[in-house]
Each structure stands twice: as structure tokens, then as C-alpha cells.
Amino acid sequence: MALFSKKNKKKEDTDEFAWMTLNEALARKKMQKGTVTREEVLERCSECCEQLRDVGSKLMETRKEYQSVTTYLSDIEKIEALAGEKKAELADTARTIVRLNNERTKFQETNKGQIAPAQFLQLERFQKEIPDRLREMRELEEYQQKVKDDMKQIEGERGVVTYESEDLQNRRKFMKTLAFAACIIIGIFFVVLFLLSEYTAADMMIPFLMTGILASLIAVYCVAGLGRIQYQEKVNGIKMNKVIQLMNRVKVKYVNCTSSLEFMYEKFHINSSHELAFEWEQFVKILDEQVRYKENTKMLEFYNAALMEMLEAAEIADTEIWIYQPEALLSSKEMVEVRHHLNERRGKVRETLEYSTKHFDIAEEEMQKLLKLVPEYADDMRAMMKAYQVAIKEEA
């Protein structure tokens, strides 16, 4: 039973430190032993607060997006449940909106350049937020490139440290080989000198003395060399730990930045800020020409308002979105496509939500363990959490 208990304890310890870097695991061990300093505790607390703040903000945004998509799917079920006169009236209004949109499209075909009709409607839907989103997208792309450059630089530093480690291992092998060879040669010298002294009766004191001095010099050289190599290996190990820790932090930043960019690319159906900027410029030119079909716009607004009123009467949460996709109200095939796209979108948002929740829980658990392991610094840590505007569930 004692052996089984030890095995279980060893497994628990392994699980506890599995997600940590080497430096973090060593810091945890120091805290458990009570040898950690106040500066080390506050440094670790600062890292956890930063992660709680950043991941918490991302978590709130993702939850709102997930709720929005879920509401959207619920609206589809309500619309599909309509029957009789209400459904027919809704279809007639949607059909009129489709006809008016087609008339607008015919005019826009000669003015919208390289923008596809579907993309034009996409830009129209988000036209109020695109300037801010475009600026944000450019900043994120610049930051992503900077992080990529940092990762390349860190990877280069890791390569240098790895090369130095291999070189030190080769030097250690050489010193051991040298020491072994020197021992054999010196031993042979002593044996030869001893035999000569026995059979020739010659005075071999000076040769013995010189051989002893040579052996001492070689021993000092080997010991000093191995000591120097051991020190350099220790320094190299510290460098490698710092490089790995820095790489892990940069990778988290890269993942968060890339996730935000992919979300915006998906939202606007583009591949880069340059593409969105070009399409936005073309879109603005088209808007300048819209005065030429004001009457069409007035009629469309009238029927759009009528459609939204019908949807509100059917207790649809988001009525405005359907004026941008009235085809889905007429065709079951189109509605299936909308549902499929939403399910895919909700799946991606759920993945992001799970990822953010996992890392938030890890950071929260680490803060809880910090407060438990070093209660003498609890007030300082709570003050830091207040400064970062983060909060955790403290264990009773």
C-alpha cells in the first residue's frame, strides 16, 4: 500500500507541473519549500494577472459572439415554424425586397468595379464599423508580423544555445578522453621507470619526480577544464530555460493575435486588410452614385421596415439581419445554407471559447495556489489584482 501511495503521489506531482515551463515548476517548488522571495512571488503574480486580464477580455467577447449566433439559430427555427397567412405575407414582402435589390444590382454592376454583389451587401451591412475595424486589422497585422519576427529571432537564439550545448558536450568528452589517456601514459612511464631502476640500479629519482610533476599538471589542467565546462553548461541551461519561456509567451500572443485576425477575415469575407481597404474604397465610390436611384432606395426602406415589423410580431430577436438575406425567407435551400454557415461559425467560436476558458482556469488556479502557498504576500497579490482589475474565486 505504501508503494502504491508513492506512485499515486508521483503521478499527481507530474500532472501538477505538466503544463508549466521549467522555470515556473522550479518557482512552484521554491514556494512549496518556503524559499521564494517577495519579488519572485509578485513577478509570477503579475504574469498571472496579465493572462487573466487578456484572456478574460477575449472570453467576454467570445461569449457575446456565441450568444449572438445561438440567438440567430433560434430565430431561424421561429421563422420556419410560421404558417398560413403570416408565412405568405412574409414571403411576398421578401420577394419584393429581392426584386428591388436586383434592380439596384443591375445599376451597381456598371459602377462597383471588382466587388462581387454578395461582397457589396456584406460591406453595406457593416459599413458603420468598417473604418474602425480596418484600422484595428492593420494594427493587428503589423503586430502579428512583429511577433513573427520575434519568434524567428528567439528561434535563432535557441539554435545558438543548442550549438553551444553540443560544443560543451564534445569538449567534456575530449577532456575525459585526455584524462584517461594521460593516466595510462603516466602509468606506463612509472612502470618503465620502476623496471629500469630495478634492473639497472640507476638513480631514477629525477625522472620519477618529473613524471609526477607532469601528471600533476595534466590533472590540474583536466580538473580546471572540466570545472570551467560545468560552469558554462549551467549558464547555458539558464539561457535555454529563458529562451523556452520567452518562446512560450510569444506563442500565446501570436495565437491570440491570429485568432482575432481570422475572426475579422471570416466576418468580412476577406484575406487581408489590403483587400478590405480596396473593396471599401470601391464601395464608397458606389455610395456616391446612389443618389441616382433614390426612389428605389425609398421603396426598399419601406419594405424593409415592413419586413422587420412582421418579424418583430413573430418575436424574432434580430430582425435587421433578414433584410440583407431575404432569399433565405423564400428558399428552403438558402435557409439550409444559412444554418450550415451558422453552425460552422458557432463551432469555431466554441473552440475559441474552450481554449480561452482553459487558459483562464489555469491562470485562476495558479493565482489560487499562489495565495495558498505564500499567504504572507496575499495582501500584496490582492493589491496587484485590483490594479489589473481582475478577480478570482478564492478557495475557502
Q: pLDDT for 102-111, tens place per residue?
A: 887 777 666 5
The residue among 111 and 11 whose pLDDT is bigger is 111
Residue 21 has pLDDT above 60, yes or no: no
Strands (DSSP E) contained in 72-224 are none
| pLDDT for the residue numbered 297 | 81
What is the spatial distance between Cα 267 and Cα 17, in angstroms, rounded to a whole number? 38
Among 231, 3, 270, 222, CA closest to 115: 270
Dihedral-angle region of residue 296 (phi above 0 means left; psi in -120 to 50 means alpha; beta otherwise)? alpha
Residue 224 has pLDDT above 80, yes or no: no
- Say which residues have a Cβ less than 8 Å from residue 273's Cβ, sequence separation at least 6: 134, 137, 138, 141
Q: Give ∠ CA 247-248-251 in degrees, rounded to 5.
A: 85
Residue-averaged pLDDT of the chain: 76
pTM over 0.85: no
Cell of 378: 496575499
Matching residue, cell 599538471? 217
Q: pLDDT for 361-392, tens place per residue?
A: 777 777 778 778 777 877 777 787 787 777 77
Question: What domains appear along the chain, each with residue ranges and CATH number?
Answer: 128-288 (1.10.287)
| pLDDT for the residue numbered 10 | 41
Cell of 56: 478574460
Cell of 367: 493565482
| pLDDT for the residue numbered 12 | 40
Cell of 76: 431561424
Confidence class for position 28, pLDDT limits 50, 70, 90: low
Q: pLDDT for 330-368, tens place per residue?
A: 888 888 888 888 888 888 878 877 887 787 777 777 777
| pLDDT for the residue numbered 328 | 85
